[in-house]
Structure 1
Amino acid sequence: MKSIAYCLLCCVLLVQSISTLAITLKKEEDIHGFHLLHGRKTTRIPFELHSNLIVVPVKINASDTLRFILDTGVSSMMLTNSELAQKLGMKSVRKMAIEGIGGGQPISADVTIGNTFVMGQMRGLKQTIVVMDDNVLRLSELVGTQIHGIFGYELFSKFVVTIDFQTSELTLTTPQHYKYSPKKGSKLPITIERSKPYLDAVTVFSNNQEMPIRVVLDTGAGHALMLNTAASHLQLPQKVIKAQLGVGLGGEINGHIGRLSKVRIGQYELNDVLATFPDSSSLGMKLSPNSPQRHGNLGGEFLRRFKVTFNYEEGYIVLKPVRRFLNEKFEHDMSGIDIRAKGNDFRHYFIESITENSPAHQAGLQIGDQLMLVNHEPVQTLTLSEIYRTFQQKEGKEVQLVVRRDGRLVVAEFALKRVI
């Protein structure tokens, strides 16, 4: 009898468990936005850092694992591959034009609805995803690994997000379960305007000027600091170089690169900081008169020197310095080479451009050369970020490249030279 009673009790408990699980799953199905599965309060997501950009594994609908850049500066989730969207059955409800930083024309895109977005133990149902008609950004070639899209605001608006650049790990915590304490770092107020985080606790020092500035915190930018001189009335540093600064949604971003003697963020000061200064045609004309006032943005090369926590709901960030990163020098390329990654695995590296009279130019390297060895290391074992770091080492350091040109191998040797 006890045995039967025990079995009945087990059956009741099992039914209750199944019912509870069913109710939980039903509640999760009813949630449209991003949420953690099974009532979790927190979860961790591994990421890779490429060119100072945070790349995370995600899935859309019934896809295999895709790779998205986590970008605080983007308000809408974007997929850069229209063919992939068709394979995943993503249905367009309307067309739209996307305009971004750069000198090109607006990009045509499709707005798709009803998508499922999964990242580890985090899921979003009935998500709207913008699909670009053409992959004009060519992010995979620039970053050196397969990139399928970009997202940001949807995640940061739902969770407290901690980015640990030492462990290459994101921690997502539901806002009601996150508790700040001073041991987590310095707390600085931010405001969220048009889906972007703005920080006022920044001061730059240059040309004997000290100027407080307002910046967007932008994890989707690889540089340290970008400044709009027209908005900030900050003069260019005495020494600058002209450069293509990157690629935006609107095309190439051109301008200058220089150094600021010091940048203060909260209580922390970083010296001899590299800053980029876009031309007005690339930046100023693209900012609507109704856009929130800003003087520039802080990107990944600056932010990676801290453990950063974003709390959009409470309106603050937490910065905890990583000592071994905080003291690293800010360096620009010293070779004169710009590289693009090609091939299915993006481990075939080709010289895209060469600065005239640079060390690489004087060593006889040419546009179109395919890199085979970097300091005796096969390039298949190196990421694009690792190759660029080789070109940013100590001035005077010797570099040897073996390249393939017209079916033959060519050896080039040169010493790195600091240009800024």
Structure 2
Amino acid sequence: MLRRYMFFLILFAGCAGLSVNAQTYQLPKGKKFQKVKFQLINNLMIIPVEVNGTELSFVLDSGVGTPILFNLADQDSIQLNNVTEITINGLGEGDPINALKSTNNRVELGGVKNLYQNIYVVMDAGINFSPSLGIPVHGIIGYDLFRDFVVDVNYVKKTIKFYDPALYTYKTSKHTRVVDMSVIRRKAYLDAHVMINKTDEIPVKLLLDTGSSDAVWLFEDERIQLPKKHYQDFLGKGLAGDIFGKRTKINHLKISDFILSDAKAAFPDMETFNTIADFGGRNGSLGGEIIKRFHVVFDYANEKLILTKNSNFGKLFQYNISGIDLQHAGMRYVSERITDANGVVHSNAKSYGDVQILLQGATRLSLVPEIIVSGIRQGSPAHSAGLREGDVILAVNGKRIHRYKLQEIMHMLNVKKDKRIKVLVERYDNDLLFSFELKPLFDDQ
């Protein structure tokens, strides 16, 4: 398989040695809850967080203990208090990495504050998820927030409400299920059932991981067997390196009496988990592509999860049918004529870049993100057509891609099976046009 950068973001679930006590988060005085807006990108919740007065973006990740900072190169400065050097482990094929531990930091999101937050800082420039998400992301935060509040996540409205646990009242209906979960070593687990090959349902214990953009990961054993129809794939990037495995689909996943049919699943290579000595009966992970199908309330204190189906519930699971992964790779200039179909110049034409230069009143140069092919799955339609890692994407089906967000371009490349895709790329200063047809990954898709 060609080496590729991450498209499905697998964050630091399973990190060892990150357990320290911090002071608690507090709501503004007199408030029952605090509402925070988030961006939903590739099934991940991106929230605004201030660290010692510096505005940053974090992934809200229920699979991580202490907050972790990375990708600070775009910051002029950030204050970190009481810094010492440490070594930490994480998922992936690499070795443990050096990091920094910082204590007594002021962290705020909305009106929620912690004046004494402990933070880990990874200085490795290779740990950078921003290019694959299309926006700056500087870190991950999780357990401390889930510990201190009842966390209500509305994936449709893209809002999170942090409730004072003492004031929160359960709201149930015939469409709502209250599910038991267990919180062990700062991570949450729930029991579910999977049917893999249209045989019996298998009970499984899954890590609840909002920091994974995937659907469900399963660990192969004598009960949980990999389906015959699968393909090798790059699953993501962990703290210690790349994660590979097999991607497939299962007959269904059942949580309480909610059944998700034809669920996307992955079987990671178990070498990924060689730093974890004891799984504690865990059989896999439940990620954002499943969790976003519910309105979810996390109640860590009482070890309860409140689930209500939302409008995402019945949507088909998304696969990378084309086999192309994309990422941002700096900026580039594009030129555009500011005219209508009749050649009339329009000075108020829509802008697509942060920097524009007008030439003779009718041509605009705009500085826009450069999108490149960061990886191609071997044997995929894009690979067979001749696309290569490093190609600069210019247009998809005649649409200039600088007008679109990264995830919108990915959707254009994987819109539906049996559709012909035309991709214009730049390679070594030459423009090349490739065409391929999207084929289903499984016969019954």
TM-score, structure 2 length as denominator? 0.82
Query: Against the structure 1 CA distance between its residues 193 and 98, is the aligned structure 2 distance closer, same or farther, given a 3 Å change threshold?
Result: same
Correspondence 1:41-80 to 2 at 5 A? 41-63=32-54, 65-80=55-70
What RMSD in Å do the two structures reach over aligned CA positions? Answer: 2.0
Q: What secondary structure sits across from 2:166 in the alignment?
A: helix
1:82-117 deviation digits (Å, cap 9, x = unpaired): 657892221343222221111111111100112111
| Residue 142 (1) aligns with residue 132 (2) | yes
More helix by share: 1
What is the Cα deviation at residue 331 of structure 1?
2.8
| Residue 177 (1) aligns with residue 164 (2) | no
**What CA distance in whole angstroms lies between the structure 2 residues aligned with 1:357 and 1:238?**
17
Corresponding pairs, count = 384
Which residue, out of 321, 327, 331, partners 1:334?
321
**What CA distance in whole angstroms lies between the structure 2 residues aligned with 1:86 and 1:385?**
28
1:168-197 deviation digits (Å, cap 9, x = unpaired): 111111111111122372110111101111
- Number of the residue aligned with 1:118: 108
- Number of the residue aligned with 2:434: 412
**What CA distance in whole angstroms lies between the structure 2 residues aligned with 1:86 and 1:74?**
27
Q: Would you say the 8 A contact 1:340–1:350 is kept in 2?
A: yes
- Number of the residue aligned with 1:268: 258
Which residue, out of 169, 189, 206, partners 1:215?
206
**What CA distance in whole angstroms lies between the structure 2 residues aligned with 1:347 and 1:266?**
44
**What CA distance in whole angstroms lies between the structure 2 residues aligned with 1:86 and 1:263?**
46
| Residue 286 (1) aligns with residue 275 (2) | yes
- Number of the residue aligned with 1:27: none
Deviates further, 51-60 or 90-99: 90-99
Query: Against the structure 1 CA distance between its residues 396 and 251, is the aligned structure 2 distance closer, same or farther, given a 3 Å change threshold?
Result: same
Correspondence 1:315-326 to 2 at 5 A? 315-322=303-310, 324-326=311-313
**What CA distance in whole angstroms lies between the structure 2 residues aligned with 1:182 and 1:400?**
49
**What CA distance in whole angstroms lies between the structure 1 residues aligned with 2:34 and 2:66?**
23
- Number of the residue aligned with 2:150: 160
Q: Which amino acid aligns with 1:265?
A: I
**What CA distance in whole angstroms lies between the structure 2 residues aligned with 1:343 and 1:92?**
34
Query: Against the structure 1 CA distance between its residues 166 and 90, is the aligned structure 2 distance closer, same or farther, given a 3 Å change threshold?
Result: same
**Identity rate, percent:** 32
What is the Cα deviation at residue 258 of structure 1?
1.1
Query: Against the structure 1 CA distance between its residues 356 and 319, is the aligned structure 2 distance closer, same or farther, given a 3 Å change threshold?
Result: same
**What CA distance in whole angstroms lies between the structure 2 residues aligned with 1:85 and 1:115?**
17
| Residue 302 (1) aligns with residue 290 (2) | yes
Q: What secondary structure sits across from 1:286 in the alignment?
A: coil
| Residue 357 (1) aligns with residue 379 (2) | yes
1:139-165 deviation digits (Å, cap 9, x = unpaired): 112222111000000110011111111
Q: Which amino acid aligns with 2:323?
A: G
| Residue 375 (1) aligns with residue 397 (2) | yes
Q: Would you say the 8 A contact 1:112–1:129 is kept in 2?
A: yes
- Number of the residue aligned with 1:10: none
Q: What secondary structure sits across from 2:145 in the alignment?
A: helix
- Number of the residue aligned with 1:188: 179
TM-score, structure 1 length as denominator? 0.87
**What CA distance in whole angstroms lies between the structure 1 residues aligned with 2:125 and 2:254?**
37
1:214-261 deviation digits (Å, cap 9, x = unpaired): 00110000100001113x731101211111111111111111011110
Structure 2's unaligned 5+ residue stretches are: 1-21, 332-353, 355-367
Runs of 4+ in 1 over 4 A off after TM superposition: 82-86
Q: Which amino acid aligns with 1:331?
A: Q
| Residue 40 (1) aligns with residue 35 (2) | no
